[in-house]
Structure 1
Amino acid sequence: MKTTTLTLAAALICCGFATAGTTPVEPKAPIIEEPASDWHFGISPYLWTTAVTGTMGVGGVTGDVDMSIRDVLDQLDFAAAGVVSLGKGKWSISTDLFYAKLSDGFDLGGLIFKNGRIDYKQILVTPRIGYTAVATENYMMDVMLGARYTRNELGITARFVRGGQVERSGTEDFWDPTIGVRGKWNFNGPWYTRYNAEIGGFGVSSDFLWNAMLGIGYEINDTAAVIAGYRGLGVDYSDGSYTNDTIMHGPIVGFEFTW
């Protein structure tokens, strides 16, 4: 997040006296400049391509998951992600939004079912409250308190050999508390590094979850920057017949616009 640095032009204009011959002139009224607003706003669309490893299960059937980035891209129908933030002074609120829709067809080759299809949607919404705990000329660090909303939608269609089909679907959604830190270090002119580290769950819904990102950015101008890095996200959640103990990780690239 890029916070506007406020400078107050002190009363350097307040002491202007003029003279004409020996006749004193009334001093001018001091000019007091109104400080600029310390509100700041940001939007950061990003693209995150992931591999997925771990264990997933539904309806009492559990299996290992090991999908490469290429596997995920082959099954990806649509994805959208971004961060929106608003702040004043050292305080800020932000929301990280992530949506992905995947689908895949498969052959069953049995006497009853010939083939099938899986449709999967994932929505992650992570609102946060941040406070700038450290702020120097080249470095800033926020501490964060937030939550993550997870929604997974799964649909399975199996087609009979003799025509017709059967469909099954289910939805699992839950909230988890999160705590974390994020920071930015300008290390060489327009170049900077940004990081984000977060943990949560604590048995509220998930037993444990984490999120981490490290990237290198370049400031194009005062309001726009481009950043690339690597992000990982893990969750350990189970509720009745549903299990999700997986890690998503992969390269991330995006833009940062701040005002």
Structure 2
Amino acid sequence: MVKKVHGIKHLAKNRIGFLGVASKNKRAAWPVYALLSGILPGLALAEQSPPLNIAPASNWSVLVSPYLWGASLNGNMKLAGKKHKIDMPFSEIASHLDSVFMGNIELTNHRWGGYLDVVHVDTDQNEQVLGQAFNLAVRQTTVAAGGFYRAYEYELPGTTVFGEARHIALDPVVGVRWTKIGASVKNKPYGIRMNKEARWTDPFLGARLSIDLSTRWNWATLVELGGMDTGGKKSSNINTYLGYRAVVGNFPVIFRLGYRSLKQRYTSTDFTGHTFKYDIRQSGPVAGLTVRF
């Protein structure tokens, strides 16, 4: 539960920026059940069967990757001249989660490619402020679009269970990240409604490294650094995963478990002279899978 606060705006400032992947709310819990229902039987099937060799993918492939990110929030936020410390564990965030979507889609021919990564989270909660009931809704959307090129590839002995040569590969990445954060506070009996929204675009450069550890196991890391266009925007995104290859329903699938850290800093001043500053790190474990078509 939220500690006693001294005003509605204070409450909104300390609740903006929620991110999570599970909830007591049944509407938000279904992605967890869906992902686990695919991961657990798939891993069991892979362990019970010998390694499978399938024909390599066609020239162009589509990779679809739903995932769950159990992120906590740490940092500072400044709104209307007041600065607030943000320190929210994932367990607290999840208790207020209303809906969530997290996923990545990639198009590649193993030399060139592009990807789109989307994280959208809605939280909703009811709180008591000065003896009055208020509803607080927070929405956060982050969309990253990037392109990459296979700059370096070293072939390793053997092949993967997908019938492809094992390798070490390095891909430079260039892209842009769009972020939108909004919060609303409502009190129906008194007709009170307040809204705050911020959005910005942040270009980034980076690289991703992929190493085939064995016929089934793979390790991959993505690093993105943004904020080259202005001193008011800085960002860093680091993803690292351990992947396990399997063939499920005749589809090549990689089950992934790893860690993600996204740090964003954004500063702007509105027409009244008030400064909005968002300096937050979202970090935590990630579980997901990649299906290749």
Q: Same fold (TM over 0.5)?
A: yes
Corresponding residue number in structure 1 for 2:290: 256
The DSSP-based 3-state class of the residue aligned with 1:223 is strand
Query: Following the alignment from structure 2 to structure 1, what is the Cα–Cα distance between the partners of residues 232 and 102?
Result: 22
Corresponding residue number in structure 2 for 1:178: 204
Unaligned runs of 5+ in 1: 7-35
Contact 2:264 2:280 in 1 (8 A): yes
1:232 to 256, 261, 267: 261
Unaligned runs of 5+ in 2: 1-53, 156-166, 270-274
Which range moved further: 81-90 or 65-74?
81-90
Corresponding residue number in structure 2 for 1:58: 79
Corresponding residue number in structure 1 for 2:35: none
User: Which residue identity lines up with residue 49 of structure 1 in the other structure?
Assistant: G
Query: Following the alignment from structure 1 to structure 2, what is the Cα–Cα distance between the partners of residues 217 and 98?
Result: 21
User: Which aligned pairs between 1:41-120 and structure 2 lie closer than 5 A?
Assistant: 41-110=62-131, 114-120=132-138
Deviation string for 1:6-64 (max 9, x for gaps)? 7xxxxxxxxxxxxxxxxxxxxxxxxxxxxx85212111111111100111233333311
Against the structure 1 CA distance between its residues 158 and 205, is the aligned structure 2 distance closer, same or farther, given a 3 Å change threshold? farther
TM-score where L is the length of structure 1? 0.79
1:127 to 131, 145, 148: 145
User: Which residue identity lines up with residue 282 of structure 2 in the other structure?
Assistant: M
TM-score where L is the length of structure 2? 0.71
State, as a whole percentage, how many aligned pairs show the same letter: 22
Corresponding residue number in structure 2 for 1:242: 276
Higher strand share: 1
1:145 to 174, 190, 193: 174
| Structure whose CA Rg is larger | 1
Contact 2:203 2:229 in 1 (8 A): no
Deviation string for 1:188-210 (max 9, x for gaps)? 22011111111101353743100
Query: Following the alignment from structure 1 to structure 2, what is the Cα–Cα distance between the partners of residues 164 and 73?
Result: 29
User: Which residue identity lines up with residue 247 of structure 1 in the other structure?
Assistant: R
Deviation at 1:231, TM superposition (A): 0.5
Query: Following the alignment from structure 1 to structure 2, what is the Cα–Cα distance between the partners of residues 89 and 70?
Result: 39
Contact 2:73 2:88 in 1 (8 A): yes
Query: Following the alignment from structure 2 to structure 1, what is the Cα–Cα distance between the partners of residues 257 and 191?
Result: 44
